Structure 1
């Protein structure tokens, strides 16, 4: 039973959202707070949706990272209180994160990765996933070095490091297997869930390559700027 004052919970959560970044530690800290107060999930989710209207588009992805962390925790623990609420809003949330702009385009690769994880773990039904896939269809992820995403030089460097940290954590999560799984369990899982290579797979490969090129561009931009200021 959660005896904490609801107003105090909203105040603390609002402050956490205001200070949220792409840092995995901050996202995990905020998601744990949200999960601890799952009895107020409806009110806290409304708060997240309100915040989606305020930050710069590139920063909205941090709120989706938070939602993803909550979903992943629910999935691991077999709980549904947050997931049942999120599934009613997730399509509109994704739409807010990837508007038709350079900032929205920069968020597309991250969203595709999250959606891939949701598909693999069957977090949402096919109707919801289909609606999200329609939003992502024909969207070109990433941005060129000349595109204005509204991010400053320091923000670019910070995002590169956060992306690396998140990629490492995602790989660790992907390889975690149940403790009681037999020696052939992982092979059986891949055999049952891996489909033939299709257009969606080629699109994901293209996105991965584009994200790599974009990161290289950002690193080179940061290096050139540092040299010009030295």
Structure 2
């Protein structure tokens, strides 16, 4: 059996090094599912890291959560989903706190939690509740010295029994990010935006099955089709002959 302390340390390191790439999120997801018998410990790692790191890392963990719950659902490990439902407000408060330091992450929270709601991982009533509070925490990217190519993200949720605390320091000025964090965030947002555009043009699963169905429903080529093609070809030939005659007449100065 793996050493619990070592598992925690490795998973913590993976969370700290998350970035905009899908591979970094998948690596952490696979690790958490591999050691799902330690689900409570690994879930607590997520909470700890989302509360301790800078704004960019918190945003990356928020994106990771969506991948994580999708995979947990596919693998039939409902405990990870249940624990995230229980603590979603704690996560939201950490990613987009009310002191202004995470204002640029409000859109991240909205997008991820809207996705979780659409997939049934989070209750829609909780999403609506958290959205009301997020409106008070939002600010513009310019206020933080952050200029991203695609504004990033959307909505929030939590079990209906929970309530998210109202902002206690609404007058606090948002903390400005240092230049390195701004550049990192812009680059990561650009990478995510590129992936979103790729998904728009991706052929959805089952597209080939739809083509095959249409093919099967189309009638076989028969004698009637042959006759129609012959008639169309004859009409086309006559039309071209008439055009040719007019053009030749015009060239010879003959009015028709």
Q: Same fold (TM over 0.5)?
A: yes
More deviation in 3-12 or 103-112? 3-12
Is structure 2 residue 195 aligned with structure 1 residue 169?
Answer: yes
What TM-score comes out, normalization by structure 2 length? 0.60
CA distance in 1, matches of 2:143, 2:118: 33
CA distance in 2, matches of 1:73, 1:169: 19
Q: Is the contact between residue 87 and residue 124 of structure 1 (CA under 8 Å) also seen in structure 2?
A: yes
Match of 1:30 in 2: 28
Relative to structure 1, the CA distance from residue 145 to residue 132 in structure 2 (aligned partners, 3 Å threshold; closer, same or farther) is closer
Q: Is the contact between residue 71 and residue 83 of structure 1 (CA under 8 Å) also seen in structure 2?
A: yes
CA distance in 2, matches of 1:65, 1:114: 6
CA distance in 2, matches of 1:161, 1:73: 26
Relative to structure 1, the CA distance from residue 120 to residue 53 in structure 2 (aligned partners, 3 Å threshold; closer, same or farther) is closer
Task: Compare the two structures and name the one with the higher helix fraction.
Answer: 1
Q: Is the contact between residue 20 and residue 27 of structure 1 (CA under 8 Å) also seen in structure 2?
A: yes
Match of 1:66 in 2: 64
What TM-score comes out, normalization by structure 1 length? 0.66
Q: Is the contact between residue 109 and residue 141 of structure 1 (CA under 8 Å) also seen in structure 2?
A: no
Shift, 1:108, TM fit = 0.7
Match of 1:132 in 2: 130
Aligned pairs, number: 182
CA distance in 2, matches of 1:91, 1:101: 16
Q: Deviation per CA, 1:83-123, whole angstroms, max 9, x where unpaired?
A: 12111101221122111244311001111111221222222
CA distance in 1, matches of 2:208, 2:47: 39
Shift, 1:176, TM fit = 6.7
> Pick from 168, 179, 187: which aligns with 2:206?
179
Shift, 1:180, TM fit = 8.1
Long gaps (5+) in structure 2: 146-173, 212-256
Relative to structure 1, the CA distance from residue 146 to residue 85 in structure 2 (aligned partners, 3 Å threshold; closer, same or farther) is closer
Higher relative contact order (CA 8 A, sep 6+): 1
